A and B are shown apart, each in its own frame.
Chain A
Amino acid sequence: MRSAFFQALLELAESDERIYLLVGDLGFGVVEPFRQKFPKRFLNVGVAEQNLTGLAAGIALTGGIVFTYSIANFPVLRCLEHIRNDVCYHRANVKIVSIGGGYSYGALGMTHHSTEDIAILRALPEMTVVAPGDPYEAREATRAVAAHQGPCYLRLGRAGEPAVHSSRVDFQLGRAIQIRAGDDLTLISTGALLGTAVTVADMLRSEGVSTRVLSMHTVKPLDVDAVLRAARETRAVITLEEHSIIGGLGGAVAECLAEEGHCKVPFRRIGIPSSFCAQFGSQDYLRSRCGLSPDRIIAFLEPMLQAVRS
């Protein structure tokens, strides 16, 4: 996703001279092409995320479209009030980009686990929250947030995720992409777990369970229609995210289902429990430990699958 983002950003900057890239002293080996090509619109502000965000708002309020870039929680939680006051309240055209959503930097430990960001930024007025599911979506998401007037959060995975799509996707903010058709149950995924969602769907299909997969790349605004269609047309709805089960995609979908009178559709949130992980290890290892690997997901869903099968 990282290369897809930078490739798209370079193309955008080529044709739109309002685009700035501000980094918080991170991005070794990936920011250089932008820096070399657009030195006047590149800035490494140093290890200072509050300043990063305030500067970005100041530049945006003077006409720029400003991408701030750092990893995990640094461009989000460290400078949260600057995002709220300086960016959101002023509807500043700032795009906050975090690489390392969820457990992307698993082995680096808790400080680098970005696991509450969606919930927190979703609560901010004016903020659009986007977590693309694969490099194709990341590319289009970059273009879409640049074109959107106002604050956006772009939550990327890491470098080298497998592609789920095989070609360029039709991507619109706030519009879920259906990856697999199905009418038994619906898996709604956001961010880099999309590949896992597809794997699970394919495993279920081989067991005779027809599974719809939605890439809910935009968590805010949520594609309410897609959620309600899933609740009407399939027999269970499950959300999947590499994020706390509190307040993220699962929370957003639960709010939607409850308020729209769909409380009776079987519904489960799959995500990270609200606790710091007790183990250390790679992204795959941590995903598996907290129930986000395909086999653990299928085991978790077993009671629901029995109901669906019967």
Chain B
Amino acid sequence: MTDGLQRDSRVLSSPAALALRIRRRVLRMVFSAKSAHIGSVFSIVDLLAVLYSKILRIDPSRPDWPERDRFILSKGHACAGLYVALAEKGFFPGSWLEEFYSDGGHLAGHATHVGVPGVEVSTGSLGHGLALAAGMALVAKRENRGFRAFVMLSDGECDEGSTWEAALFAPFHQLDNLTVIVDYNKIQSLGTVKEVLDLEPLAAKWRAFGWSVLEIDGHNCVEIEDALRAVPLQQGRPTCIIAHTIKGKGVSFIENKLLWHYRTPDPEEFRLALAELEEE
């Protein structure tokens, strides 16, 4: 039984526990803001929880510390999860989360750096994050500095030509301090990825561009942590972690439903969703 207890303590003390807190908080934010994209947020919560509790070398007391790791949420529409992770880390007061989407509040509906410590860059238009991260990684390489750059892309974002411009660039310049995480939940704005513009074979595409590629379960915190601790997988190559995820992960009736790219829970759905998250 010792084994079981250990597993429990690992679950309670860190990424999984943080992920649960993020989901609960995001649900409340989305409900009171009547905002969209809850499905897009829930699919990356476990990835964010591992990044912010185990991987990123950052310091909430010095958000501008020059040697910090850079994390860019290129899929800026999933910012609610990022905001909660940052508040949990102490970058800004948790009370700001109550102002999400609201008139005059600190936190806009897409990732916004202005006045928000810890948000590296503003995103929201897809296809911008990878080039920005590559520029940062390039400086670290050329100036012999130790920080790393991580960037999270949506799968829909892999439709953007600019993503592939940067994808071609990073391996050529041997940016092994750069890691892409693709949130491959397989649903984009108007349908499934397969229906809209199929990305398969996605891993082979990144490999062909020169990346070290690893496919993981994007909801298994142990697997996520192992993968992110292992980067770079190969000296001289940037890493692409394709995280297989479920859009809306964590609430049964939100999971895998295109509708929840847009829909806000009504009071009854809110109660049910919260109950599911409380049970965990």
Same complex = yes
Interface residues in chain A, defined as those with a beta carbon under 8 Å from any beta carbon in chain B: 40-41, 43, 45-46, 48, 50-51, 53-64, 81-82, 85-86, 89-90
- The 8 A CB mask of B114-125 against A (1 = contact, 0 = none) is 100000011111
Within 8 A of A (CB), among B156-196: 161-162, 165-166, 168-169
Which of A48, A56, A89 sits near B135, CB closer than 8 Å? A56
**When the two chains form their complex, are residues A51 and B166 in contact, meaning their CB atoms are under 8 A apart?**
yes
**When the two chains form their complex, are residues A90 and B139 in contact, meaning their CB atoms are under 8 A apart?**
no
CA distance A114 to B143 in the complex (A): 36
A54-B136 CB under 8 A given contacts A46-B168, A46-B169, A89-B122:
no
Considering only CB atoms and an 8 Å cut-off, how many residues of chain B contact the other chain? 29
* Chain A residues with CB under 8 A of B121: 57, 61, 86, 90
* Chain A residues with CB under 8 A of B125: 81, 85
A86-B132 CB under 8 A given contacts A48-B165, A50-B161, A51-B162:
yes
Which of A55, A60, A63, A89 sits near B131, CB closer than 8 Å? A55
Nearest CB of chain B from residue A201's CB, rounded to whole Å? 45
**When the two chains form their complex, are residues A50 and B162 in contact, meaning their CB atoms are under 8 A apart?**
yes
**Best-surrounded residue of A51, A85, A90 (most CB of chain B within 10 A):** A51
Known interface pairs A48-B165, A54-B128, A54-B130; 4 further A-B residue pairs with C-beta atoms within 8 A, sorted by A's residue number: A46-B165, A57-B121, A58-B132, A61-B136
A-B contact count (CB 8 A): 88
CA distance A126 to B135 in the complex (A): 21
Nearest CB of chain B from residue A40's CB, rounded to whole Å? 5
CA distance A53 to B133 in the complex (A): 12
**Does B238 have its Cβ within 8 Å of any Cβ on chain A?**
no
CA distance A56 to B162 in the complex (A): 14
**Does B97 have its Cβ within 8 Å of any Cβ on chain A?**
no
**When the two chains form their complex, are residues B168 and A48 in contact, meaning their CB atoms are under 8 A apart?**
yes
**Which chain B residue lies CB-closest to A40?**
B142
Within 8 A of A (CB), among B120-157: 121-125, 127-128, 130-140, 142-143
Nearest CB of chain B from residue A32's CB, rounded to whole Å? 19
**When the two chains form their complex, are residues B128 and A85 in contact, meaning their CB atoms are under 8 A apart?**
yes
Nearest CB of chain B from residue A232's CB, rounded to whole Å? 40
CA distance A56 to B142 in the complex (A): 14
**Which chain A residue lies CB-closest to B72?**
A58
Nearest CB of chain B from residue A75's CB, rounded to whole Å? 14
CA distance A61 to B135 in the complex (A): 9
**When the two chains form their complex, are residues B139 and A54 in contact, meaning their CB atoms are under 8 A apart?**
no
**When the two chains form their complex, are residues A55 and B135 in contact, meaning their CB atoms are under 8 A apart?**
yes
* Chain B residues with CB under 8 A of A63: 66, 139
CA distance A145 to B23 in the complex (A): 46
**Does B106 have its Cβ within 8 Å of any Cβ on chain A?**
no
**Does B113 have its Cβ within 8 Å of any Cβ on chain A?**
yes
